[in-house]
Structure 1
Amino acid sequence: MHIREISLEGFKSYATRTVVSGFDPFFNAITGLNGSGKSNILDSICFVLGITNLQQVRAANLQELVYKQGQAGITKATVSVVFDNSDRSRSPIGYEGCPEITVTRQIVVGGRNKYLINGHLAQPSRVQNLFHSVQLNVNNPHFLIMQGRITKESALKTLEKKQAKLDEMDKLLDQEILPSLGKLRKEMTQYMQWANGNTELDRLKRFCIAYEFVQAEKARDSTFNGVVQIKMKIDELDDKTEIIRKDIEMMDNNISKLIADREAKLGGQVGKLSQNVDELSRTLVKESSILANHEESLKSEQNASNKISKNIEDLRRSIGEKDCAIQKVEDEASNLKNRVEDLSKKLDDNEREHQGVLAGKSNLNEEKCLEDQLRDAKVAVGNYESELKQLKTKMIHSEKELKVKRAQLTSKRDEAAADRSIESEAVQKLREEIRVLSGQVSNVQFNFRDPVPNFDRSKVKGVIAKLITVKDMSTMTALEVAAGGKLFNVVVDNENTGSSCFRMVTLRRVGEYNAELALLLVGYDEEVKVTSLKDEHFKAESELELIHSKLKERDVQINQHSKEQQNFSSS
């Protein structure tokens, strides 16, 4: 593939359309005066090939490639390069059937840029793939040799440098260009296969649509023929129906004639029999209605008898209740009679006492008169007054003692409150110590829920550490280090109990204590003394119980003081 001609319009110094033709397939040279546009022809070729480094075409941006940068009324630059593609072995992939390929690039002032291949719009990547498939890469640094580059290349003094350059070019060709070209050829082949597959798929789709259309027409025709046949059958059935209807009318007429003849022959016996049948049916209806009425009346009488029996039972109950009420009234009447008799006796006694008072005695049984009784009463009043004065003095003294004891009680309450606060602080500290100690020995705590109702908890023996009793306390550390975590295993009576209790177990472990224990076992001087921790735990619990007993005694004393105060206040 080689250049056949170049067409320039609005590109750099070419304001009007200019066609440059007559290119040789192997070697070409462009000659002319300075400023005649020789370099611009080469720049136009690089422009169509998609050069990205615009400094090699002596421009800062694409707008500078337009004639006088668009200030002379020309606002676009168009360059078309016609390539001869007669050699099929060197043609680009996918263009083997084209005798020539025209690549056009056009830019417009303002940033618009487009490519055309054989008059059709194309993406820049497609144009680059076209040129890369024939080993044309305008962005290769060795593709274009500018002025002065030849002198620089000829200035290489030694053959080794030239050979190194050639090796570098061969390496670049072998490692980058040829693999990329093979990959592109493979991708192009796959693309062509895909395009052919899509074309074949479209053809098959059209064929399927045509086949479905033909089948639909056949179905329509067959359906139309079926409809015509059905209409014909319907017409035939209508004719047969008309014939059958006429036959039925004839048969009805014959039947009516036969009935008339039969009645004439029988002489009206059938009529009489039918009348008798009608009378019997009417009597049957009357009797059935009478029977139904009797059944309804029987049911109503049964309901009435049930109601009457219920009323009789209610009356019996009411009679029993009235009998009880009469008995109560009779008892009350007898009580009233007895009371009247008692009152009459009291009335007689009161009358006799009244007679005795009139005679000068306060009572019939007394021998003293009223004056003696009055004197005795005055003496008793004096005694009572002296006793009242003594009680008043005692009450004043008791009030003074009550005030003193109240003051003592308030002071004791304050002391008790202070002691209680101190004791509550001590209790809190002891609880904290108990919590710490229980956290340190929590590895041996083992709790579980019953896996089944009425589970025998004696089957679970407990943690091994609780089941072992060490006689020599000095060997406890060695035993714990040797046994390790196996000391916290749980002992059960058999395997079934262990499997049933496995999901119900709740073990509480303290990670911080385990870390401290590991550090102590690795490098600390102090030994781990589980027994001492247990002793401290028991001591703390005993002290806590002692404090609780003291608090209870103090509460009892305070309650006693409060009761004494209430007694004094009530007295």
Structure 2
Amino acid sequence: MYIKSIVIEGFKSYAQRTEVSDLDPYFNAITGFNGSGKSNILDAICFLLGITNLSQVRASNFQELVYKHGQAGIKKASVSITFDNTDKKASPLGFEDNDELIITRQIIIGGKNKYLINGVNATSTRVDDLFCSVGLNVNNPHFLIMQVLYASLQNPKRTEILAMIEEAAGTRMYECKKLNVQKTIQKKEIKLKQIQTVLYEEITPTLQKLKEERLSYLEYQKVVQQVEHFNRAYIAYQFVLAEETKESAANVLKDFQTNKENLQESVAKNEKVMTQLEEEVEEMEKKKQKEVINILRSLEEALSESQRANTRAQSSLDLSKQNLKSEEITYKSLVETMQEESKSLMSKEEGVKKAEEELNALQEASRKDADALAVAQHHFNAVSAGLSSSDDGEEATLAQQMMTCKNEISKAETEAKQAQMKLEYAQKELKKKEAEVKKRDAGYERDQEALSAVRKTKTNLEDKMKNVNYEEEKEKALLAEEVALTHDISQLRELYEGLMARFPYLQFEYRHFGKTWNPNSVKGPVVFLITVKDLSKARALEVTAGGKLYNIVVDTEVTAKKLLEEGELKHRYTIIPLNNISSRCAGPKTIQLAQTLVGYNNLYLGLSLVEYESELRKAMEYVFGTTLICDNLDNAKKVAFDKRIMMRSVTLDGDVFDPQGTLHGGNCWFCASSKTVPILCEVQEMKNTDIKLKTKMSKLETVKNELTSLKNVAEKYWKLKQQWDIKSEEAELLQMKLHQSAYHKQEEELLALKKTIAECEETLQKTKDTQKKAEDKYKGLENKMKNAKAECEKELKSAQQKLDDARKKADASNKKMKKKQQEVEALVLELKELKEEQASHEKLREAKQKAIQFYQCEVNVIQAEVSQTKESVEKSQKELAKQKQVILLHDEEIKAKSEEIVKYREENNELHLKLKELEYNIGKYQQEAADVATKVTKMLEEYKWIASEKQLFGQPNTPYDFKANSPKELYQKLQTLQERKQVLERAINIRAMNMLSDTEEKYNELMKKKRIVESDKLKILAAIEDLDKRKIKALHMAWKKVNEDFGSIFSTLLPGAKAVLAPSKNDILDGLVFRVALGNTWKENLTELSGGQRSLVALSLILAILLFKPAPIYILDEVDAALDLSHTENIGQMLNTHFRQSQFIVVSLKDGMFTNANVLYRTMFVDGISTVRRYQQLQGRKKCLREAEKAQKS
């Protein structure tokens, strides 16, 4: 197998597709100037053969293999070689059927590395196996001969030459593996020693311990058997007790059942008597219903009818009054509006007056502050003069203040004596009155009971009225609220329209585009899309935004285009599309730096002072994101021109500093002439008004819905209300009667005396506190007298501080007053706007006045009707009261019978309680009997031995003899054994038996494995000894063959010279050395040879070793660089003579080498790219062959 052609594209210096075609099957040479790409062809062959050590192809990574590292637009390197495979004996395994093999390797920068065999993808492993099968292992390349390789062999050690012979003979790999096996045996020896240590130090003691634990386990089993024996006897005793309890429970249940039957008979007897009494009461109720109730019902119906008529009339009256009130309110509102307009006109005509009032207030405040300053000055002067200030603020000497304290103490003592005398008198009277009130009047008690009954009826009626869900005052309140809301809505709408009329340029109107149009795509002017967090910064924000404040925000540029082209806009507008706006915003680091420079509370980013919807963020950054708001000129100037910040800044008064060097001040361009209030404040007021208007309208709708629902339940409510009124009158009469009784007056006197006692006690406490406070103050003043000088200095310092504070406050008030004076002058220009509204409101007032007159007449007519229906209701109520007295007589008779029924019912209740108690005891004993029976059954099921040994329970001379073996002692023994069992359970290893057998088994297994390992070691050592003998035999054969070829090749390269590989001592295993003879003189050392001769010796050895195991292809890279021309020519002749079965590709710069080649390739570097040209040299090849044949014959 040999190379027919090579195609290189993008590999190293070969940027374009370059083909090295028609390679000779025997001898090919490549020549060219340095750097023209000769060795790159050899690198390409090694690259395709699958080299992994990139340093051998002069690269550190795959990217360096691509032309100019992929930076010239070429991102892929590809090498493709066509092999002749007609010689089937030398074919790669698996490819005997292919006469030609085309193998390609590609790498892509940032991508993958792939192989192709005859155009089909293949793995790198498959390609490596293909080449290794024909002796072309590029990662151990004996077929690749480079100058560096044989240069290192010009003065080799004897062991290095021996190593090369071993490699050629194939014994080198055996030596490496033998060393690895010996190392492994050493490691196993260490492991065996560790196993021996574990056996004697761990496993053997563990076995001993497990044997001891086995003894403890046997003791534990004995205790378990004893526990089982005693436990069985104790269970038998428990079984006998359960059966005895079962029998006694049955006897008790029989007695309880007899008592239950007796109680049930008594209950049935009482039930019979109660039934008879209830029948009598029912008969009396029927009689009452027939004779009295029917008349009462007819009277109630008549009363109800009168009440309904009265209610209807009253409702009509209320409605008319509401209409009248509504019109009056509207009229009043209109008048108030007109008055407000008059006031507004006066404030606009007398706008100065309103401002002057504020100015006067400021002047008054300024005057007060000046007075406070004078007082502070006076106080300071007084303290400086030696006077002291008392708690009430008066200046006096300490002696005067002490005299005042004595007077307060004397006054408190006098008041305390008076209060004590009054208290003693009241307590005496209280005891006397309490003795008189002990006897209670029977009539008073009856009246109180009657009052309680009436109140209870009233409460029931109130509950029914609440259940109706109608509130008497709610409807009136809702009507009044409806009128008030209507008035408020009218005022708010008028106010909103007035504000909008004042700023017509803020109204953005456009033509809508049909049903498919989404109104939400147009957000509106910026001024309406923001909310100012702090209105004191409104003017600064207006200057910040400038004309952008009136830009229109939309969702996309498509919407903006449609508005401009088809929206029929009335004014020129700038539109901000949210999806296409380029916004900039100052970073947090810049803001933090600026705030550090001038103070955190003295500077803000304009964007942080407004609130907006999140979807509008880009638009708001565009308007407010690049300007800083500062509190004064100095700070604004400082941040604007600071080289680290350099941002536009605006003061609160509207002064602007621009980093470009411009400065302008004063009010904003659109409000500088007449309006002192910032437009953002006005817009905020418009927004607030609109919110209030919508809230009021929503509330009005709710009120109307509630009024509609209330009318449906009003009739039912008024009927209950009428009955409640009757009971209220009864309650008032009884309450009045009670209050007029002597007993009630005595109660009131008692309360008055108790109140007097409490007041006297409180007075005593107050005087005591006052006296104590005055005494403490007196002691304090005495201490001050002792430290008069220090106190005087302290008070003087305090007075100085108060004087300074008062002076600062007076200066501030004076500054505010002057500022207000400037504002007053600006209000004079706003007078003309309200005068025209007076005429229209006057006409509306006259219309409302006529409506009020109409409703007033209607109210008078309905008022008369209400009076008439009210008299009818009062008459019906009197007749109904008489009939109710008759009903009371019937109720007393029924009450007597009912009390007798209650008596029997209470008796039956007691009997039922006894029955329940008895049933509970029966259930308890039944449950106890059932539990015992369950226990007996469960014990029989759980302990099967009970049934067979039951007859032995309690019998003498048996294990169940409870007299001989006391159950108490039995239980104690059982407890002792169980405790011993628990101790053993904690101490023993229950698994000791199993663990012992397992451990013994593992011990035996480990010993068996140990013996196997020792046996295997002996076998391996025997095998190594046998292989060493074979290695020596193979090494001698390789040495003889390589020595023969070495001498032949060297003689060809250097005619007349001889060379051999001789053992350094008696055996070749000690190493090999070169012996060279020039003519008949043998050289003892290579140092006696020239550099070229040493190179020929090294090259001869390499070629001899290669000839021992020939490869189909050999690559020589400038191996003649250190040789003269005659030696170079001899190398070409030698290759033709000794390597007739292999293909050679030689890179050389010398004519002596490539003149012997059959085909010569010259590389050139043209425009930064390598190129190749082919030259046929068949004549030279024939000449060399003839000379080689002559040499062989001779």
TM beyond 0.5: no
TM-score (norm 2): 0.16
Q: Which has the larger radius of gyration?
A: 1
Structure with the bigger RCO (C-alpha within 8 Å, sep 6+) is 2
